Amino acid sequence: MADLFGALAGTVQERTAGVDRVAQSLGVAFEKSRPKSNDYFDVLVSGRSRTVPELSSAEARVDRRSGRIRLLLLGIDPATHCTPSSEVFQRFGEPRDMNPPTARQPAGSPTFYVYRYPWGDLRIGVSPDRPQCVTTVVTEFND
């Protein structure tokens, strides 16, 4: 079984190789979501990962002109395995930015730790409850 951070590193490394390679890194099978797709982006969705137990869903937004992944949204199930915020800090260091939920967001919305890289942004959402477990990972590629 792959760990969450290992799978995440695989998506960053494989992003330019295409959606199939990223799906393989995550252990998912993407399918196009016609209702979510538009003239600019194909939105691909999947259910639970076969190799990363806590990965409950994945969504890739693929630029129709270039065929490149621009956004990757990962849903994490902390009931399966809690990756605490302390592990996030140990792996990635202190975040450059921190985005707490706004008053308009539903109770229990995650706080996002933002890490900026030459290839794009990594936002890791953690639950407000103790322990603060990872619930969402958003990777935005700008290269």
Interval 61-75: pLDDT, tens? 999 999 999 999 999
State pLDDT tens for residues 30-87.
999 999 999 999 999 999 999 999 999 999 999 999 999 999 999 999 999 999 999 9
State pLDDT tens for residues 115-130.
999 999 999 999 988 7
Buried b / exposed e along 8-35 (16+ C-beta atoms within 10 A): bebbbebbeeebebbbbbbbbebeeeee
Distance CA 112, CA 124 (A): 5
Whole-model pTM: value is 0.92
How big is the CA angle at 131 (ends 129 and 137), to the nearest 5 degrees?
A: 80
